[in-house]
Amino acid sequence: MGPTEDNDQFTEGQTVIHPFAQSGVPSTRPPCCMRQLSGGFVSGSGPKQLPPLFSRSSGGLDDSRPFFFDGKVAVASRHSLRIEGTAMAWSVPQLVRRGRSVIPESSISDLLELFPIDTCLNVKRGASRFFMYEEHAPNKMKDAAGTATTIAVTPSEFGALLAECDGSHYYWTAPMASVAPDLLRERFDWYSDLHDESDRPLLDPRGPSLWMGTSGSGTQCHYDVANNIILQLHGTKRVRCYSPSLGLRHLHVFPDAHPRARKSQVDFDDVDFGRFPHFEDCPAPSLDVVLGPGDMLKIPAFWFHHVENGKLSYSNENVIDGPSASLNSFSLSKPMLVAQQIFKQGGRLGRGELEDRIISVLRARGVRLLENLNINNQDEWIERNLLEARFKPIENFDERDTFQENKVELTKRQMDDAEACVDGTMPYFEQIITEQDESGDGVGIAQLVALHLMELWAVKLVGAGAVGRAWREALV
């Protein structure tokens, strides 16, 4: 999933709480190493334009917004990059300068030649230029597997594929320690110097990952629940970042129980506005940046990002500019850790005594949750952000296919139980909102977590394949 693949997944019950399965997202305020201009497009090799939410900072960096470092300017700065929830402060000049020295700009094959010659790389190959992580399982919604295939190649064979331009797109990522441990020790030995032992529990235990892809390849717009830092090593990479609030309203995210959870369903190259109407009035991204060698981008958890390798992603010129390579480091995020407590507290549901009141319980919980989050017109919000955005594009509802539940009113005890379960999660939701400043979109993150919780209830009550149908009936 881009310089941020899908490195983290929620799950409580049938939803995943595994922060480092495959990950990424944007963060904070620019220091002096940033050039403050007016617009919304940033190119690593041209003039920098930063959207209004970017402002200069006289001190350290907050952790809640997308943050871009121009490699040519950063090496002259004295700023540090702090990782959320840790005492870790990385020297920006040190990180950028050392990253730029790892691989010459002339050939990505030089880096691959440092891999053991018998290393097996599992490379994705596809006719489509966008790749996305998929998780097919019995407790997931049924969906056809993606068109990408996996091939096993040696580093030299992969280098040849990256340069071939044979009509297919290729994409590969792996923790460096798993494919080239000597390379990690000898050429990236400085990575371990960037933090102390007390910070390690919050970092991806697999260490930094390498990401490589052909020009034009990329990863579908998605969000992750871990923070991500991308250091571009070779070639260029375009990243478009959208706030959580904007993403949940406009990007038509796959449902949680879908194999492609947390990804946008929209084909950015050929948008079907009839199927994805909310995307038609989608505002411009908060940040649209092209990374060049030595540039760095921090993407905080829960921010949506669409990633494309090479100049073809931002130019109409029919030019192949070669492959792209980046170094990525992931870290746990506070919102994800708090969300786990929300799922633990609010995910409990005793189905046995609710057999004839499933839809009523679902509605009672959903309305209470949205009321507590100060969302008015709860039915309208659920219709737009859950049913229209997530389920309608992939489900054909049959009016005859209902649960045939008599709308039995809940007893006072049942209503009290439903409300108490929801109310117990509110201190955690408030923590997410208050710890992310306004520009960090704590409200948007809280609403994304609320959607996770609402889907989780339905999965437990009716199964993954009937979530949309259950919520549709709850609104009738």
Q: What is the pLDDT of residues 314-335, one digit of tens each?
A: 444 555 567 888 888 888 888 9
Categorize the per-residue pLDDT at 272 as very low, low, confident or very high, splitting at 50, 70 and 90. very high
What is each CA distance from 462 to 100, 140, 265, 382, in whole angstroms?
52, 12, 24, 18
Answer whether residue 288 shows pLDDT above 60.
yes
Specify the pLDDT at position 383. Answer: 96
Residue type, 437: D
What confidence tens digit (pLDDT) does each residue in 7-66 have? 444 333 333 334 334 333 222 222 222 222 222 333 343 333 333 322 223 233 445 666
Instruction: State the chain's mean pLDDT as an integer.
Output: 73
Categorize the per-residue pLDDT at 87 as very low, low, confident or very high, splitting at 50, 70 and 90. very low
Q: Which residues have CB under 8 Å from 141's CB, separation 6+?
A: 255, 257, 258, 259, 464, 465, 467
Query: 309 has which bridge partners?
Result: 237
Contact 283, 304 (CB under 8 A): no
What confidence tens digit (pLDDT) does each residue in 421-444 have? 999 999 999 999 988 765 678 999
Task: Give me the mean pLDDT over the 288-317 stretch.
Answer: 78
Specify the pLDDT at position 135. Answer: 58
Categorize the per-residue pLDDT at 113 as very low, low, confident or very high, splitting at 50, 70 and 90. confident
Answer whether residue 190 shows pLDDT above 70.
no
Residue type, 197: E
Specify the pLDDT at position 97. Answer: 54
Specify the pLDDT at position 355. Answer: 59
Contact 375, 467 (CB under 8 A): no
Q: Which two tokens stand for residue 244?
A: 């959580």
Specify the pLDDT at position 432. Answer: 92
What confidence tens digit (pLDDT) does each residue in 338-351 have? 999 999 999 887 55
Among residues 134, 148, 209, which one has the least CA distance to residue 173? 209
Task: Give me the mean pLDDT over the 394-420 stretch.
Answer: 70
Distance of alpha carbon 27 from alpha carbon 64, whole angstroms: 4
What structural domains does the chain harbor?
Answer: 9-332 (2.60.120.10), 338-474 (no CATH)
Specify the pLDDT at position 453. Answer: 95
Query: 411 has which bridge partners?
Result: none
Specify the pLDDT at position 274. Answer: 92
Answer whether residue 185 shows pLDDT above 80.
no
Task: Give me the mean pLDDT over the 388-401 stretch.
Answer: 73
Q: What percent of the chain has pLDDT over 70?
A: 64
Query: 307 has which bridge partners?
Result: 219, 239
Query: 209 has which bridge partners?
Result: 175, 328
Answer whether residue 456 shows pLDDT above 60.
yes
Counted residue by residue, the chain has a size of: 476
Specify the pLDDT at position 379. Answer: 95
Distance of alpha carbon 130 from alpha carbon 240, whole angstroms: 14
Contact 369, 428 (CB under 8 A): no
Angle (CA) 397-400-406 rounded to 5° is: 110
Categorize the per-residue pLDDT at 464 as very low, low, confident or very high, splitting at 50, 70 and 90. confident
Q: What is the 3-state secondary structure (H, E, C) of the chain?
A: CCCCCCCCEEECCCCEEECCCCCCCCCCCCCCCCCCCCCCEEECCCCECCCCCCCCCCCCCCCCCCEEECHHHHCCCCCEEECCCCCCEEEHHHHHHHHHHHCCCCCCHHHHCCCCCCCCEEEEEECCCEECCCCCCCCCCCCCCCCCEEEEECHHHHHHHHHHCCCCEEEEEEEHHHHCHHHHHHCCHHHHHHCCHHHHHHECCCCCEEEEECCCCEEEEECCCEEEEEEEEECCEEEEEECHHHHHHHCCECCCCCCCCCEECCCCCCCCCCCCHHHCCCCCCCEEEEECCCCEEEECCCCEEEEEECHHHCCCCCCCCCCEEEEEEEEECHHHHHHHHHHHHHCCCCCHHHCCCHHHHHHHHHHHHHHHCCCCCHHHHHHHHHHHHHHCCCCCCCCCCCCCCCCCCCCHHHHHHHHHHHHCCHHHHHHHHHHCCHHHCHHHHHHHHHHHHHHHHHHHHHCHHHHHHHHHHHCC
Q: Which residues have CB under 8 Å from 411's CB, separation 6+?
A: none
Question: Any idea which of 183-187, 424-428, 439-443, 455-459 has the lowest mean pLDDT?
Answer: 183-187
